[in-house]
Amino acid sequence: MSGNDVEEQENQQCAEMAAPRSNVEEIRDRVILGEFGVRNVHTTDFPGNYPGYDDTWNRKKFEEKFRIDVIRMDENTLEFDMVGIDAAIANAFRRILLAEVPTMAIEKVFVYNNTSIVQDEILAHRLGLIPIKADPRLFEYRNAGDEEGTDIDTIQLQLKIKCTRNPRASKDSSDPSELYINHMVYSRDIKWTPLGNQADLFAEAGISPVHGDILIAQLRPGQELDIVMHCVKGVGKDHAKFSPVATASYRLLPEITLLQPVEGELAEKLKRCFSPGVIEIESDGGKKFAKVANSRLDTCSREVFRHDDLKNIVKLGRVRNHFIFSVESTGILSHVILVSEAIKVLMAKCDKFLSELDSAEVD
């Protein structure tokens, strides 16, 4: 689906939403942004909660309503809409992305020599936070108490670098980058030493830090680092270094309703109260009208409420079950894979839970 299509669809939706809604409908479907607080924050569509509504869950209805639209996709970020689902489930995906999708990260650092001024612990901490490009799906978790590791659960990396004086540096130079060689240790200096048959297995992709330009330490002539590292599979709830995303979060689709026509100067003023592109001015026979063009772009700064002449003619709301997800990958796995992995994790959890339930019945 191309971006334009989506936008058109959005616009249609917005037009629909602008129509007056019943009060119950609003409580059910919208989160209202008031001047001093947010109203209707909780999901209330439990079965039987509203007379006249059938809120029992049924698969067909869900499948009809539920959709995922990918809005934007570039190298590291993915923006997609998840519509027709409860906040709890959407949040579960966010939480799993942050904390439970495994990656490989440096866990054990063996310092053979470190004459730099960076302390061993700090160096180890810095190394740990470097994203390592290795597909965690091809590795196993290391067993507790295992210090050595094998080729199925460990990636061995090596950093061996020594700073020396540059013999060809001009005499009167004071620029460290000209005077010394290797005075900046970057993540690209980390070299992979394959264990077992890893060399064949990962020959294509290779294993290395995702970014080569992460500064690890600075050295001066005579200082050296000789370090061997073990990367291990782990999850973000253990340590943030295992988290596969820079961040994963969502926001609800904003909805702006004009309660009465806004014309002339006021329209211009209204336009300025929102992010660019949210309100457009349309002229209709010399008169200028404000029109909600694309409420999706709004950042919900609630600027309208600061203007007494505007605050009562605009209603700010957000669609309760329309989640605009944004997933920023650290670059280890592509964001698309991350999301599908997250779904797999949730499915695995469900399976586990179901099997637990089944086994409980046996008892």
With CB under 8 A as the contact rule, the residue among 25, 121, 178, 356 that binds another protein is 121
Q: DSSP readout, 25-51?
A: HHHHHEEEE-SSSEE--S----TTSST
73 binds another protein (CB under 8 A): no
Q: What angle do CA 326, 327, 328 make, to 5 degrees?
A: 120
Q: In the complex, what is the shortest distance from the CB of residue 106 to another protein, in angstroms, rounded to a whole number?
A: 13
Q: DSSP readout, 164-212?
A: EE-TTS-TT---HHHHEES-EEEGGG-EEE--TTHHHHTTTT--EES-T
49 binds another protein (CB under 8 A): no
Q: In the complex, what is the shortest distance from the CB of residue 197 to another protein, in angstroms, rounded to a whole number?
A: 33
Q: In the complex, what is the shortest distance from the CB of residue 18 to another protein, in angstroms, rounded to a whole number?
A: 21
The closest of 17, 79, 54, 36 to 323, measured between CA atoms, is 79
- 60: CB partners within 8 A, 6+ apart: none
Nearer to another protein, 93 or 139 (CB): 93
Nearer to another protein, 239 or 287 (CB): 239
With CB under 8 A as the contact rule, the residue among 14, 17, 78, 98 that binds another protein is 98
99 binds another protein (CB under 8 A): yes
Nearer to another protein, 99 or 217 (CB): 99
The closest of 326, 347, 337, 346 to 103, measured between CA atoms, is 337
44 binds another protein (CB under 8 A): no
State the number of CA atoms in the 13 A half-sphere of 47 facing the CB: 3
With CB under 8 A as the contact rule, the residue among 37, 48, 51, 286 that binds another protein is 37
Q: In the complex, what is the shortest distance from the CB of residue 240 to another protein, in angstroms, rounded to a whole number?
A: 4
Report 174-193 residues binding another protein (CB under 8 A): none
CA dist 289 and 261 (Å) reads 7
Nearer to another protein, 135 or 328 (CB): 328
Q: In the complex, what is the shortest distance from the CB of residue 168 to another protein, in angstroms, rounded to a whole number?
A: 23
State the number of binding residues for another protein (CB under 8 A).
49
SS3 118: coil
Q: DSSP readout, 58-116?
A: -HHHHHHH-EEEEEEE-SSEEEEEEES--HHHHHHHHHHHHHTS-EEEEEEEEEEEE-S
Q: Which stretch binds another protein (CB under 8 A): 15-23, 118-126, 333-341, 343-351?
A: 118-126
Q: In the numeric block, which tokens belong to residue 85? A: 């689902």
Report 273-312 residues binding another protein (CB under 8 A): 275, 299-303, 306
- Asked if 359 and 115 count as a contact pair (C-beta separation under 8 A), the reply is no
354 binds another protein (CB under 8 A): no
Q: In the complex, what is the shortest distance from the CB of residue 252 to another protein, in angstroms, rounded to a whole number?
A: 7
Q: Which stretch binds another protein (CB under 8 A): 59-67, 86-94, 198-206, 352-360?
A: 86-94
Report 222-251 residues binding another protein (CB under 8 A): 236-237, 239-241, 243, 247-251
Report 311-340 residues binding another protein (CB under 8 A): 318, 326, 328
Nearer to another protein, 97 or 190 (CB): 97
Helix (H) or strand (E) holding 256: strand 245-258
Q: In the block, which residue shows the tokens 């890893």? A: 198
111 binds another protein (CB under 8 A): yes
Q: In the complex, what is the shortest distance from the CB of residue 57 to another protein, in angstroms, rounded to a whole number?
A: 18
Q: Which stretch binds another protein (CB under 8 A): 82-90, 189-197, 209-217, 349-357?
A: 82-90
- 306: CB partners within 8 A, 6+ apart: 273
CA dist 30 and 316 (Å) reads 10
Q: In the numeric block, which tokens belong to residue 73? A: 């996709």
Cα dist from 7 to 3, 4, 113, 222, whole Å: 6, 5, 57, 60
Q: Which residues in this chain contact another protein in the complex, by CB under 8 A? A: 31, 33, 36-39, 41-43, 87-88, 90-92, 94-95, 98-99, 111, 114, 117, 119-122, 125, 129, 236-237, 239-241, 243, 247-252, 275, 299-303, 306, 318, 326, 328
